[in-house]
């Protein structure tokens, strides 16, 4: 495995990266001027973008808590971890069950550096970080980290949050299915899917800006978003905008036009 120094030497500070743009828009500090410029351009196209991103993150928190609390899931595979922003998935699920295990996956060198420093689990549980890309599921599933932490005789929570809109068809369905296939029945998929259904002009301009910045993305309507869960048992309320999926009492009053992401949790049968 490449060393930390080798990976960080390959950080491209001349091109915006989705994880760093996300960090910038949410007020983080782990980004470069090119990421800030890209984020500012996107927010000019759609000022609601920070609200949208916060609600996507909150969906992950609620979905992870639900899987640990209500479905008894004790091991998780988190694809496209992004820069660590508390609470992270292992903090959410280990609050419910300290013995929970989480394997994080991302391929950005900055994420790698931060993840190894910050994504430390409880003494009873475990966390690991895989330096890999969703486009190469074999690298994930065959990694020593996955093999050592994930028991494929027990259900797994597969989290694909804020990633799928960067996966172009026809690879999208194949890659999601390849990650699901080895997981046993009773495993769950929690996933968010970018959409232009609620603010098509503004979100369309953001999508075009991402593409101009070298990060092509695809938006999907409700029918297409729902089809990713075909053959699975959807958890109520099904496929909804992320801010309306099992909202808690702390949920902000959010205008639906500010949310361009569907989310759902489904059980593998």
Convert the pLDDT of each residue in 33-49 to its tens digit: 999 999 999 999 999 99
pLDDT tens-digit map of 52-95: 999 999 999 999 999 999 999 999 999 988 766 778 899 999 99
The answer, yes or no, to whether residue 7 has pLDDT greater than 70, is no
The structural domains of the chain, ordered by start, are 48-200+216-268 (3.40.50.150)
Give residue 220's pLDDT: 98
The answer, yes or no, to whether residue 138 has pLDDT greater than 90, is yes
Task: Select, from the ranges 114-123, 129-138, 175-184, the one with the highest average predicted confidence (pLDDT).
Answer: 175-184
- Give pairs for 223-228: CB < 8 Å, separation 24+: 224/193, 225/193, 225/195, 225/262, 225/264, 226/262, 226/264, 228/164, 228/172, 228/173, 228/176, 228/191, 228/193
For residue 71, which phi and psi values (nearest 5 degrees)? Answer: -110, -5
Confidence of residue 10 (pLDDT cuts 50, 70, 90): low
The answer, yes or no, to whether residue 205 has pLDDT greater than 80, is yes
Determine contact, residues 25/33, Cβ cutoff 8 Å.
no
Give the pTM.
0.90
Q: How many Å separate Cα 225 from the centre of its chain?
A: 15
Give residue 244's pLDDT: 96
pLDDT more than 90, % of the chain: 72
Nearest to 191 by CA among 147, 158, 220: 158
Task: Give the CA count within 13 Å in the CB-facing half-sphere of 156.
Answer: 23
The answer, yes or no, to whether residue 4 has pLDDT greater than 50, is no
Give residue 80's pLDDT: 87
Nearest to 246 by CA among 264, 261, 260, 259: 264
For residue 194, which phi and psi values (nearest 5 degrees)? Answer: -65, 140
Give residue 3's pLDDT: 46
Give residue 27's pLDDT: 83
Determine contact, residues 174/138, Cβ cutoff 8 Å.
no
pLDDT tens-digit map of 246-265: 998 766 789 999 999 999 99
């Amino acid at each position: 495995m490449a060393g930390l120094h080798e990976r960080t030497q390959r950080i491209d500070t001349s091109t915006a990266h989705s994880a760093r743009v996300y960090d910038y828009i949410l007020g983080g500090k782990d980004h470069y001027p090119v990421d800030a410029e890209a984020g500012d351009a996107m927010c000019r196209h759609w000022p609601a973008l920070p609200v949208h991103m916060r609600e996507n993150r909150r969906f992950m928190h609620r979905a992870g808590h639900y899987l640990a609390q209500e479905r008894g899931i004790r091991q998780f595979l988190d694809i496209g971890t992004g820069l660590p922003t508390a609470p992270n998935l292992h903090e959410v699920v280990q609050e419910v069950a300290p013995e929970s295990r989480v394997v994080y996956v991302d391929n950005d060198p900055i994420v790698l550096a931060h993840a190894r420093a910050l994504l430390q689990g409880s003494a009873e549980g475990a966390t690991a970080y895989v330096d890999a890309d969703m486009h190469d599921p074999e690298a994930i599933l065959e990694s020593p980290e996955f093999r050592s932490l994930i028991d494929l005789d027990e259900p797994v929570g597969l989290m694909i949050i804020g990633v799928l809109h960067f996966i172009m068809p026809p690879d999208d369905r194949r890659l999601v299915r390849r990650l699901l296939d080895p997981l046993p029945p009773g495993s769950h998929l929690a996933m968010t899917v970018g959409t232009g259904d609620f603010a098509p002009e503004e979100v369309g301009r953001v999508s075009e800006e991402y593409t101009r910045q070298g990060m092509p993305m695809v938006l999907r309507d409700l029918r297409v978003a729902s089809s990713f869960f075909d053959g699975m048992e959807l958890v109520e309320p099904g496929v909804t905008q992320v801010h309306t999926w099992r909202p808690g009492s702390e949920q902000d009053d959010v205008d639906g036009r500010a949310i361009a992401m569907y989310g759902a949790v489904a059980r593998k049968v």
